[in-house]
């Protein structure tokens, strides 16, 4: 079983919709997770950290962790065409710095 | 601060050849990780270097190797290329001071024909 599982999509929504992106994880020695965003032909960029207690909000983006079900979520409000990208969730490894990534969910926001 | 740079950006090779990819991390960062990204498998970890030492290695054959220099720049090498090695190879740097935030380069797109 992969350490982080993510539905690859693709997910297509109209502009202005609320988007929900989800991951599950198998175990984590750390109490935080990350969301990366990757545009076509670019490397991933860090979007948000999220800690295992409560939600974290950053503008139109909200990240949430449910420790009991080992579920990580990213919500995008008022989605824009510029949000069209692949979103990857990640968790720290038990040792070292290389992250464990989900496969990524491809999101398309149509005008 | 300049970001992570990778060269070359695009590469076309034929089966059986070997290839070397280069990565320059963010200034001051000591950890460099390499990933292979394909549509089917997503981001797969290759190896991680910290202060010139390989600290972790993913589940890839020995044809994949890497090294890190004293200035933290890193190279990865793939020998005896196979068609299945066609992928985007991403390098990521980390400060190595305890936080896990990784900064990615734009990647090298390798096509094996």
* Cα Rg of chain A (Å, integer): 13
Is residue B1 very low, low, confident or very high in pLDDT (cuts 50, 70, 90)?
low
Q: Which of A49, A92, A101 sits opposite B43 (nearest CB)?
A: A101
Query: Please, are residues B23 and B73 in contact by the beta-carbon 8 Å criterion?
Result: yes
Average of per-residue pLDDT values in chain B = 94
3-state SS class at B84 = helix
Query: Please, are residues A37 and A87 in contact by the beta-carbon 8 Å criterion?
Result: yes
Question: What's the pLDDT at B61?
Answer: 96
Is residue A10 very low, low, confident or very high in pLDDT (cuts 50, 70, 90)?
very high
* pLDDT tens digits, A36-61: 999 998 999 999 988 777 788 999 99
Q: For residues B12 and A102, what is the distance between their CA atoms, to the nearest angstrom?
A: 28
Is residue B111 very low, low, confident or very high in pLDDT (cuts 50, 70, 90)?
very high
| Chain position carrying tokens 């890190």 | B68
Taking an 8 Å cut-off on Cβ atoms, the answer to whether B43 and A92 are in contact is no
Nearest CA in chain A to B10: A41
The two three-digit tokens of residue B48, written as one number: 């991680």
Query: Please, are residues A1 and A26 in contact by the beta-carbon 8 Å criterion?
Result: yes
The two three-digit tokens of residue B9, written as one number: 């950006």
What are phi and psi for residue A81, nearest 5 degrees?
-55, -30
Average of per-residue pLDDT values in chain A = 89
Is residue A31 pLDDT above 80, yes or no?
Answer: no
Is residue A19 pLDDT above 90, yes or no?
Answer: yes
Taking an 8 Å cut-off on Cβ atoms, the answer to whether B42 and A102 are in contact is yes
* pLDDT tens digits, B17-63: 999 999 999 999 999 999 999 988 889 999 999 999 998 899 999 99
Is residue A99 pLDDT above 90, yes or no?
Answer: no
- The residue ranking higher by pLDDT, A29 or B37, is B37
Tell whether A9 is within 8 A of chain B (Cβ): no
Taking an 8 Å cut-off on Cβ atoms, the answer to whether A93 and B56 are in contact is yes
Is residue A97 pLDDT above 90, yes or no?
Answer: no
Tell whether A87 is within 8 A of chain B (Cβ): no
Nearest CA in chain B to A42: B106
Taking an 8 Å cut-off on Cβ atoms, the answer to whether A42 and B106 are in contact is yes
Q: Which of A88, A95, A97 sits opposite B33 (nearest CB)?
A: A97
Interface of B with A (CB under 8 A): 4, 31, 33, 35, 41-43, 45, 47-48, 50, 55-56, 58, 90, 92, 94, 96, 100-107
Measured CA distances, A35 to A39, A52, B35, B93, B111 (Å): 13, 13, 17, 17, 28
- The residue ranking higher by pLDDT, A52 or B86, is B86
């Amino acid at each position: 079983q992969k350490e982080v599982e993510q539905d690859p999509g693709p997910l297509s929504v109209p502009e202005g919709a609320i988007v929900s992106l989800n991951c599950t994880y198998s175990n984590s020695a750390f109490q935080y997770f990350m969301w990366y965003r990757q545009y076509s032909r670019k490397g991933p960029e860090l979007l948000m950290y999220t800690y295992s207690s409560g939600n974290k909000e950053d503008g139109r983006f909200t990240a949430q962790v449910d420790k009991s079900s080992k579920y990580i979520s990213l919500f995008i409000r008022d989605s824009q065409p510029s949000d069209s990208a692949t979103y990857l969730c990640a968790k720290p490894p038990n040792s070292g710095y290389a992250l464990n990534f989900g496969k990524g969910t491809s999101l398309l926001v149509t005008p | 601060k300049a970001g992570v740079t990778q060269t070359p950006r695009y590469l076309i090779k034929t089966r059986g050849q070997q290839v070397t990819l280069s990565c320059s991390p963010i200034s001051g960062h000591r950890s460099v990780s390499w990933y292979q990204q394909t549509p089917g498998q997503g981001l797969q970890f290759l190896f991680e270097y910290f202060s010139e030492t390989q600290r972790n290695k993913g589940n890839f054959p020995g044809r994949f190797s890497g090294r890190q220099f004293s200035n933290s720049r890193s190279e990865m090498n793939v020998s005896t290329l196979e068609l299945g090695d066609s992928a985007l190879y991403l390098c990521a740097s980390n400060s190595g001071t305890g936080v896990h935030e990784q900064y990615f380069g734009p990647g090298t797109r390798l096509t094996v024909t």
